Amino acid sequence: MSSRILIIDYGSQYTQLIARRVREARVYSEIHPPTRTAQWIRDWKPTGIILSGGPNSVYDEGAPTLDAAVLDIAPVLGVCYGMNLIAHISGGEVTHAREREYGRAEVTVVAGGTLFDGFARGERFAAWMSHGDQVRALPAGFTPIARTANAPIAAYRHETRPLFGVQFHPEVAHTARGTDIIANFLFQACHAEPSWTPGAFVEEEVAKIRALVGAKRVICGLSGGVDSAVAAALVHRAIGDQLTCVFVDTGLLRLHEREQVERTFRANMGIHLVTVDASRRFLDALANVEDPEQKRTIIGHTFIDVFEDATAQHAEGAEFLVQGTLYPDVIESYSPRGGPSVTIKTHHNVGGLKPGMKFTLIEPLRELFKDEVRNVGRELGLPEEMVGRHPFPGPGLGIRVLGPVTEPALDVLRRADAIYLEEIRAAGLYDEIWQAFAVLLPIRSVGVMGDYRTYENVVALRAVTSTDGMTADWFPFPHDVLGRISNRIINEVRGVNRVAYDVSSKPPATIEWE
């Protein structure tokens, strides 16, 4: 059996980053809730166990806990709340810290060994802290291995058992050498094998899909984005002609989107593709709707209606629906493990599905981050032109027209967006940017064109850098590139007289405006 790490999620906003770091080390991982029993964990046969951070104190009423028997199943690393929990259930003392630590702190290594293999005693490194409690007294058999100015026990290990705890977050990019600490746990403590690769993922998912589907038919909705393309290619690898892909022209697409999708999937992949022009249906459903959550719900429900109609006409008897749901979609829509997360926005392929729909969902990418999806797409032989595309939301331009969605508004946005992306590519910047797009604002501004006063639309430009979409920062365009983009949009797109650039990061903003 291949190595695999069980991550128990105690509600940290960084839990998925732990999974990401483990996978980057080519070790398979899964996230599960703290309600898993010791027997369930034993039967799962983990190579190692990581306890995530969380917002609770170990003394809070109803705080999630851990059966002490789990500490005997496999090597365990506790992160933040997980560290406090190990100490608490083992007989140590956890108290409120005199000074809470949030943000960067300097950690000093006081003892080498497994977790700090390759670190010098006395070495200092920056780490990301986010805690109000700390371990004040260690249980018998444990020893401190790192400290900070405010936390005398910033990390510990058991003297004879493979139990470790760190008060900081090694999974966060702000922690210097955090990947080294995680790698030491995986390979020094757990003796894991780095065998989880895109090829291994494809092989395993193909087997799962075949077992689930059998001889039944499957329908997949293509949006033109990376996620649905990779999901379709993966399912096609598994079941071939049992898959019918439906590309819905929603009227909310980018310029020439329909033609590009049809060319890619029919010519390059040989997938049975049906194109449905439902643009009028979507625009009628969205008439006079301004609320973004309502837009997403309407678009999601209409998608399902269109799929059901397309199935009746082109894939009669299909029982499964493929969706390109990713981890960030799930994380932002709800907290699947009962953690403290709140809904940021409903994704059409997570929270927007119509109640009572007749399809069983197949979501083969649900546990992957965007860069992992791209690597799986390359493994499946998708063209780089498609694999390397910036993310595009399922609801399309419907959530980039802020305010009522109309054909004139969509036309303005579509042309402005095309110019924007064309200039980014011409400047050689496309691959440096995680996502770039234009937004049509629901306001007008006064301007002057020639000798005339104008009162026209405002277009906002968004471009961010990111690795997985969980966090993002605005892209620092050269001024001449921004100037050229603005000049072309104002001169070439009738109805626009002002262009603004969004310089907010995520958090506190989201990447999309709606």
> CA–CA distance from 169 to each of 156, 175, 377 (Å)?
14, 7, 31
Q: Tokens 């095309």 belong to which residue?
A: 418
Residue with tokens 């690795």: 467
DSSP state for residue 274 in the 8-state scheme: E
Strand 142-147 relative to strand 93-109: parallel, antiparallel, unpaired? antiparallel
| Under 8 Å between Cβ of 23 and 191 | no
Q: What is the separation of C-alpha 140 from the centre of its chain, rounded to a whole number of angstroms?
A: 40
Give me the active site residues, please: 80, 169, 171
| Both structure tokens of 238 | 């598994």
CA separation, residue 127 to residues 8, 66, 121, 265, 374 (Å): 22, 26, 16, 46, 30
30 SS3 class: strand
SS3 assignment for 149-200: CCCCCCEEEECCCCEEEECCCCCCCCCCCHHHHHHHHHHHHCCCCCCCCHHH
- Calpha distance 177→466 (Å, rounded): 20
Rounded Cα distance between 117 and 123, Å, is: 12
CB atoms within 10 A of CB 508: 6
Q: What is the separation of C-alpha 171 from the centre of its chain, rounded to a whole number of angstroms?
A: 15
Candidates 309, 307, 314, 344; CA nearest to 329 is 344
Integer Cα distance of 456 and 92 in angstroms: 66
Query: What are the structure tokens assigned to 264, written together?
Result: 């890619």
